[in-house]
Structure 1
Amino acid sequence: MSEFEHERKTTGCATHGAFPANAQPIKHSLSIVQVVTWLMSSLMVLLSVNAEAVPAFARQTGQNCLACHAGGQFPELTPYGRMFKLTGYTIGERTVPISGMAVLTANKVKVNDPAAGHTQDGTLTFNTGSLFIAGKITDKAGVFAQITYNNYAGDTGFSGHTGADNMDFRYADRLINSNTDLIYGVTMHNNPGVQDVWNSNPAWGYGVVPGSTGIGSAATPMLDGGLGQQVVGGGAYVYWNQTVYAELTGYRTGNGVFSFMTQGNGTQAIIKGTNPYARLALTHAWGAHNAMIGVTHLDVQQYQDPTDLTLGTDSYRDNSIDFQYQYLLDPHTVTATVTRIHETIDSATAGTLSENINSFRAKASYVYQAKYGATLSYFDVSNSVNNPGATQTGTQGWTPELFWTPLQYMRLGVQYTLFNKVNGVSSNTDGAGRKASDDNTLLFYVWGAY
C-alpha cells in the first residue's frame, strides 16, 4: 500500500452532513467572558425571531425540526423527513434557500500529546461554520449543498480552510394510484452514502458533533468516509409502496467541471473509471414504530499514487448491512441504528486479498420532549493485513452523550469517549508505556443554526 493510500486509509471517521469530516481542536480560543456573551446574545436573538428566521428546509415546509428529525435531533430522519428527501427536497413553497451553522467545542484528552502538533486541554474554541444552500428549485428538483469553514485544516498545521462539504442535487417524481405508490428520482452527490435517506451510514456520522464517533486514526473502509468530497456520483433510485428502496449509482473522480463539489485541499483521491454503488432496503411502519434493514455494496478502483497513474490501482470492495428502528410518539423518541461494513483490499503491489477491514458501529438514543436526550454509541474497527508477521490493528470503544436543546436551533451537549483499544493497543503494550485509555476524550459542544 502506497504512502498516499495509507494516509487516505488513516484519516479517521467522517462526521459530515451538518459537520465536516476533519474537524479538530483549533487555535483561536475564546475567553469565558466572550463565550458567555456569545451564548446570551444567541439566546436573545433566537428567542426574538419569528417564523421567517429559521433554517431553509423548515422555512420552506413550514414545519419545525421535529417533523423531519427524530426528536428534533440530527442526523436521524423521521418518515416525513425521508419522504422530503426522496421527493427531491421539494415539499413546501419556494423560499430563501440560505441557512448558517456554527459549532463551538472544548476537547480534553486524558493524556495530551504535544508531538501530535496540538493539545486538547479543554479550551472552548470555534470549530466549524457552515453555509447551506438548500431547498426547492422547481416542483421536481431540489438541492442540499453545504460549504464549511474548518478552523483546523488538516495534519500539516493550524490554518483555516473553506471547502465543499456534503452536497446532494436531486430530481424526483411520484406516481400514486389505488394500488401503487412509487417515488423515483436521480441524484448527483459527492460522498457515497450521503444520498441515503436513513442516515445510518458514516457519510452523516453517528453523532451530532466532531469527535462523536471516536475512531481517531484507525483505518476505516471506503464507505466510512474514504471518498467524501473527493468524488462525484450520479445515480437513480426508486421507492415502492413505502416498502422497497433500490438504488444504483456510479462514482468518478470529482475533477474538471465537478471540482466545485470537492474539498480542494490537495489530498484528493483519484479513482479509475466509473465505480459502482448499489443499495437495497426493506422498510415497514406500524403505529408509532418504523424499521429498516438494508444492504449496500461499493466497488472502488483507486490509483495508488495520484501523481503517477502507471503504478496501478488498489481494489476496494465494501459490503455492509444496516438496521434502524424508531419509536416516535410525543413526548418520547427512541432511535437505534446498527451498521457493519466489511472491506476487502486487493493491493496492486501486495497482491490479492492483501487486507481486510471490518467496521461495526451501533448507536441508541432517547429524547424527551424534543429537549433532553441521551445517546450511547459503540465502535469497533479492526484491520487485518494478510502478511506473515504483520501487526493487526484495531480501535474500539464507547461514547455516552447527554444533551439539552433549550431552543429549536441551539443545542448544548457533553460526551465522553472511552477507548478499549487504540490502533491495536489496549494496555502498556506499545513499547512507550501508553495505553488505550490515555486517549479518552471529554467533549463539550455548543451548536447553533440560523
Structure 2
Amino acid sequence: MNKKAFIVAISAGALAILPTLASAVPSFARQTGMECAACHTSYPNLTPFGRRFLLSGYTLGGTEKIEGVDANGKERLSLNKFLPLAARVQASYTEVDKKTGTTDKSSVALDRINLYFAGAVTSNIGTFINLQNSRAKYTDGLKGNETADTALANVVVRYSDKTADGGLTYGLTLADKPSFHDAWAVDASAGSLMDTLNKSSGVAGLAPYLAYEFGDNLLYAEYGIYRSTGKIIDLETNKLTDFANYARLAYERTFGNSSLQVGASILEADLQPVVGAVAGSDRYRDIGMDAEYQYINGSHIVGANLSWAKDDRDLNATFATAKSTNPTYSQTAIKAGALYLYDRKYGVEVQYADLNGNADAKLYTLAKGYATNQPDATSVALTALYLPRDNTKLSLKYLMYSKFNGASTNYDGLLHNASDNDQLSLAFDFLF
C-alpha cells in the first residue's frame, strides 16, 4: 500500500471526531442575543429552533445597523454595525493501536484553525463562509512531515423570505457543497460522489428550497444544480463534466419534547475520473434515506440517527482506460448514531458505520492495501463528551474496526488486521 496515502487516511480518521456538518459559530449567538443552547444540543447538532434559524438564511434576530438619509428622507447609507465574525480552533491527540508501516503510533496536532463570516447581511440574506487552515501529518521514511493548506472550506450564501401568513419559507442557496447546509446535518451518502464534491474547492451550485410549516409539522424540499468552476481540461481528474443534480425531501414532526424526521436524497453527476479518459466520464448516482429523533427536556437530551445510502456507478471512462475490471460498480453504506447529554455538559455518543462494495481488482488493488479487492469496512466509535462552556468541547473517542479494506484479518496481505487501525483520540474544540 502507498504508505504516505495510508497515513494521511489514518490522520483523516482522527479528524472524524471533529464535526464538519451543519453550522455552529458564536456570531449567530451575538446576532440573535440567544445562548448557544437555543440552536444546538451538542454542537454542531441542531435543535428544532436551530433548524428554523438555518432555513431563515441565518437572518433571525436581525442586525444592528448604521443608517443615514438625505434631506428628503431617502436612504443614503445602511451598514451593519458589527461584522458577523467568529473563529474556531480544533486540536487533537491520537494513539493508533499498532504501528503500521511508517505510521506514527501517536501524534499531537493543531488540526484546524477557522475564521468565519457568518450571519445576517440584510434582512433576507445571510452567509456562512469558512476560511480554514487544515493540517495533515504523515511520515516520509524516517522524517516526520506536516502539510498545511489554507482555503475556503465552506461557502454558503442564502436568500430567504416568508409568505404573508408565515407558513411557507422559500429561499435560494448558493453553495460549494451539496449537503453541508442541510438543516438536519445529514450525510446520507455512500461515501464516494458526495465525498468527492464536498472535498473539492472547485464546485459551485444553486439550490432553491421550500419549507412549509403546518401545526407541529415541517415539510422541506430542495433541488440544486452544481458545476465544477473554471475550464475543464483533459489533465484534470474528478471534475464534473456536466451539471450535477441534487434533490432532498424531509418531513419533521414535533410532539411534546420530541421531534422525529425522515428524509431522502438523490445526487447524480458525471465525473472525469482519469487523465485522458477516452469515453468521457463516469456516471454516479447516490440515493439515500435517513431518520433522526431528538428528545430535549431540561437537563436531559437524547438523540438518535440512522441513514442508508446506495452508490451506483457506470464506469464508462474508467473501464475504457483499463482502470477497473468491471464496467459498473456499486456500494452501500449504513450509518447509525446515538447521543445522550446531561445538563448540556456531560455526554456519551455511539456511532456505527458499515460500508460494502463490489470486488474490483483494479479499483482496489493489493498495492493499495486491499488483499480482497473490496473496500468493505465496519467500525464502532464510542465518545465521551465534556462541555465546560457552550463554546468549548473536549471529546475522548475510541474508534474500533472489525473490518478494514475488505477483511477482518490480513486485509493487506502483510498480516495487518482491521483492529490494528483502532485509535484513541482526544480532541479540543473552541469557538469564539
TM-score (norm 2): 0.80
Equivalent in the alignment of 1:106? 93
Does the C-alpha gap of structure 1 residues 338 and 68 become closer, same or farther in structure 2, counting only changes over 3 Å? same
Counterparts of 1:336-347 in structure 2 under 5 Å? 336-347=304-315
8 Å Cα contact 2:160-2:170 kept in structure 1: yes
**Residues 201 and 96 (structure 1), Cα distance of their counterparts in 2 relative to 1, 3 Å cut:** same
Give, in angstroms, the shift of residue 120 of structure 1: 3.8
Alpha-carbon distance in structure 1 between the residues aligned to 2:205 and 2:333:
23
- Mark the CA change 1:126 to 1:303 in structure 2 (over 3 Å): closer, same or farther: same
Secondary structure, counterpart of 2:430 in structure 1 = strand
Correspondent of 2:343 among 345, 369, 387: 369
Q: Quick one: which amino acid aligns to residue 127 of structure 1?
A: D
Which aligned pairs between 1:10-409 and structure 2 lie closer than 5 A? 55-70=26-41, 73-94=42-63, 95-115=82-102, 118-121=103-106, 123-152=107-136, 158-177=146-165, 181-201=167-187, 220-224=191-195, 226-230=197-201, 231-241=203-213, 242-255=217-230, 269-305=238-274, 308=276, 310-348=278-316, 349-350=318-319, 354-385=328-359, 391-409=373-391
Counterpart Cα distance in 1 of 2:284 and 2:264: 17
Letter of the structure 2 residue corresponding to residue 190 of structure 1: D
Q: CA deviation at 1:14?
A: 11
Q: Which deviations, in whole Å up to 9, do the C-alpha atoms of 1:286-329 show, x marking residues without a partner?
A: 11111110010000100123x54655101110000000000011
Task: Provide the secondary structure at the position in 1 that maps to 2:358.
Answer: strand
Can you list the C-alpha shifts for 1:7-43, whole angstroms capped at 9, x where unaligned? 9xx897797997569xxxxxxxxxxxxxxxxxxxxxx
Residue type of the partner of 2:183?
V
Measured after TM superposition, the shift of residue 75 of structure 1 is: 2.3
Structure 2 unaligned spans of 5+? 64-81, 321-325, 363-370
> How far off is 1:392 after superposition?
2.7
1:158 counterpart SS class: strand
| Change beyond 3 A, Cα 1:285–1:82 | same
1:316-349 Cα shifts (integer Å, max 9, x gaps): 1000000000001111111111111100010014
How far has the Cα of 1:227 moved from its partner?
3.7
More strand by share: 2
Change (3 A) 1:199 1:249: same
Is the CA contact (8 Å cut-off) linking 1:354 and 1:386 kept in structure 2?
no
- Distance in 2, matches of 1:413 and 1:377, equals 14
Q: How many residues align?
A: 381
Q: How far apart are the structure 2 equivalents of 1:353 and 1:319?
A: 20
For 1:375 and 1:243, how far apart are their aligned partners in 2? 27
Q: Indicate how the Cα distance of structure 1 residues 176 and 228 shifts in structure 2: closer, same or farther if over 3 A, else same.
A: farther
Is the contact made by 1:404 and 1:411 (CA closer than 8 Å) also made in structure 2?
yes
CA distance in 1, matches of 2:222, 2:15: 23
Cα distance change on mapping 1:430 and 1:270 into 2, 3 Å: closer
Q: Is the 8 A contact 2:26 2:36 kept in 1?
A: no
1:268 CA drift (Å): 6.9
User: What code does the residue aligned with 2:156 have?
Assistant: D
Q: Deviations over 1:219-258 (max 9, x none)?
A: 83323454433411111000112421111100100337xx
**What's the RMSD between the two structures over aligned residues?**
3.1
Q: Distance in 2 between matches of 1:229 and 1:155?
A: 25
Residue deviations 1:352-405 (CA, integer Å, cap 9, x gap):
861111111111001111100110000001221478997333010100000111
1-side partners of 2:343 and 2:286: how far apart? Answer: 38
> Structure 1 pair 299/324, CA: closer, same or farther in 2 (3 Å)?
same
Name the counterpart of 1:447.
429
Contact 1:193 1:202 in 2 (8 A): no
For 1:436, give the aligned amino acid: A
Q: Name the amino acid aligned to 1:188.
A: L
Choose between structure 1 and 2 for higher RCO, CA contacts under 8 A separated by at least 6 residues. 1
Instruction: Look up the equivalent residue of 1:239 and give its one-letter code.
Output: A
1:429–1:84 distance in 2 versus 1, CA, 3 Å: closer
**Post-superposition offset of 1:55:** 1.7
Which residue of structure 2 aligns with residue 31 of structure 1? none
The alignment-based identity, stated in percent, is 27
Partners in 1 of 2:269 and 2:26 — Cα distance?
Answer: 36
* Residues in 2 aligned to 1:81 and 1:138: alpha-carbon distance in whole angstroms: 19
Deviations 1:127-150 (A, max 9, x none): 111001100000000000111101
Query: Larger deviation: 97-106 or 422-431?
Result: 422-431
Q: Which runs of 5+ in 1 are unaligned?
A: 22-53, 204-218, 257-265
Distance 1:14 1:182 in 2: 41
Asked if structure 2 preserves the Cα contact closer than 8 Å seen for 1:193 and 1:201, the reply is yes
* Segments of 4+ moved more than 6 angstroms: 10-18, 153-156, 386-390
Query: 393-402 or 95-104, which moves further after superposition?
Result: 95-104
Checking the alignment, whether the CA contact within 8 Å between 2:242 and 2:269 is kept in structure 1 is no
From the CA coordinates, give the structure whose radius of gyration is larger: 2
Q: Write the distance in 2 (CA, Å) between the matches of 1:289 and 1:77.
A: 13
Shift in Å, 1:434: 1.1
Residues 131 and 200 from structure 1, CA distance in 2 versus in 1: closer, same or farther, beyond 3 angstroms? Answer: same
SS at match of 2:405: coil
